[in-house]
Amino acid sequence: MIEPRREVRWFARQMEAKLQKHDDRGGWDSCSADYLLRRIADERGELGRQLRKLARKKAKGGTVTRAEGAEVIAEAADVANFAMMIADNWRYFAEHD
């Protein structure tokens, strides 16, 4: 069995924390790939906006706060979670002929 790297295990915990916040919404098995791709694009936009905002702040000599760093991580986890949902919905086909 492949043992995930320390960084992958850490990021997986970030992803799981985000998923658990929305446990009341149900699963993703009935979501279409198109819908999940749109959600990736939405979340990627949020991540990009946050990164650009912080880059501007740093360019002006500001420092990134712990909360701002946590927001970047949360947005990255959102992007990854929607990609994981697509992979999970297609897993059966990859595992069976």
Per-residue confidence (pLDDT) for residue 94, from 0 to 100: 82
Handedness of CA 31, 34, 37, 39 (dihedral sign): negative
Handedness of CA 28, 42, 24, 66 (dihedral sign): positive
For residues 73 and 38, give the distance between their C-alpha atoms in angstroms, rounded to a whole number.
Answer: 20
Residues of the chain with pLDDT below 50 are none
pLDDT at 81: 98
Residue with tokens 């959102």: 78
Residue 46 is predicted with a pLDDT of 98
Question: Residues near 50 by Cβ (< 8 Å), separated by ≥ 6?
Answer: 68, 71, 72, 75
pTM of the model: 0.91
